[in-house]
Amino acid sequence: MLLKDQAAIVTGGASGLGAATARKLAAQGAKVAVLDLNAKLAETVAAEIKGVAVTCDVSDAASAEAAIAQATKTHGPARVLVNCAGIGVAKRVVGRDGPMALADFEKVIKVNLIGTFNMLRLAATEMSKLEPQASGERGVIINTASVAAYDGQIGQSAYSASKGGIVGMTLPIARELAQFGVRVLTIAPGLFLTPLLANLPQEAQDSLAAAIPFPRRLGHADEFAALALHMVENSYLNGEVVRLDGSLRMAPK
């Protein structure tokens, strides 16, 4: 996929992995729409990369439709969608106060899994109508899962289920959308130095890094963005889930 002058959408683009990806795509000449619930932060990133900020709740059909319409009005139909929006809530199934509230489980599934599918279905529909590039491609969709889809820990039942769903739908959707020349891929990141982990004491960060054989450190958001860019540019990658985790092992020695 040739990115120069093409429209791209990044959900969760106001911070962390999403912001790094928005910057990376913009640096390659893409016109980037930064979608996020945090309007102020989205505007900051969009101003930096000369993109557009759009407030969006990915889990809401009407909000997602309006956001894509706004992005399309500004930049034209997107050929690239990178889904980074998501939440992580750590709760035990059986806690001190009884069972996990069903609403807590539902919220994580709705934002992470249904939100990803919501944006994918809408973007793919618009991509399928575009003229193909010289390579035959019409679009690329990249989702964000997590190593928790494979190695979920105690308290991650909802989060792991949501990310496992993203992993599970990648290949069948890639096969379905191949008829339109739209590729679908997923990145499963491990422990990254996003704002959440960056606020932890250095001792806590070092403890987490001890679970990563090499390089023994937390991942950098730019490394996620670099992989997303490679996926966009490498037309032979399709239907794949790539773990980006330094071969993380969940039982550090």
- Tokens linked to 203: 């001792």
Question: How large is the average pLDDT for residues 46-57?
Answer: 98
Question: How large is the average pLDDT for residues 69-80?
Answer: 98
Q: What is the C-alpha radius of gyration for the chain, rounded to an integer number of angstroms? A: 18
Task: Evaluate if residue 11 carries a pLDDT over 60.
Answer: yes
Known active-site residue 236: no
Task: Evaluate if residue 196 carries a pLDDT over 80.
Answer: no
Domains, the chain, in order of start with CATH, read 7-241 (3.40.50.720)
- Residue 223's pLDDT band, with cuts at 50, 70 and 90, is very high
- Is the alpha carbon torsion for 10, 12, 18, 19 positive or negative? positive
Q: Of the listed 7, 31, 43, 159, which one is catalytic?
A: 159
Residue 141 contacts residue 193 (beta carbons within 8 Å): no
Give the per-residue pLDDT at 180. Answer: 98
- Distances in whole angstroms, Cα of residue 227 to Cα of each of 33, 65, 120, 140: 19, 27, 19, 13
What is the average pLDDT value for the chain, to the nearest integer? 94
Residue 21 contacts residue 84 (beta carbons within 8 Å): yes
Helix segments in 6-137, DSSP class H: 16-27, 39-49, 61-75, 102-108, 115-127
What is the end-to-end Cα distance of the chain in Å, rounded?
Answer: 42
Angular region, 234: left φ>0, alpha ψ -120 to 50, beta rest? beta
- Three-state SS at 186: strand
Closest CA to 13 of 40, 159, 250: 40
Q: What pTM was computed for the model?
A: 0.93
- Say if strands 182-189 and 7-11 run parallel, antiparallel, or are unpaired: unpaired
Residue type, 72: T
Task: Evaluate if residue 253 carries a pLDDT over 80.
Answer: no
- Three-state SS at 182: strand
**Residue 98 β-bridge partners:** 95
| Rounded CA separation 115/59 (Å) | 4
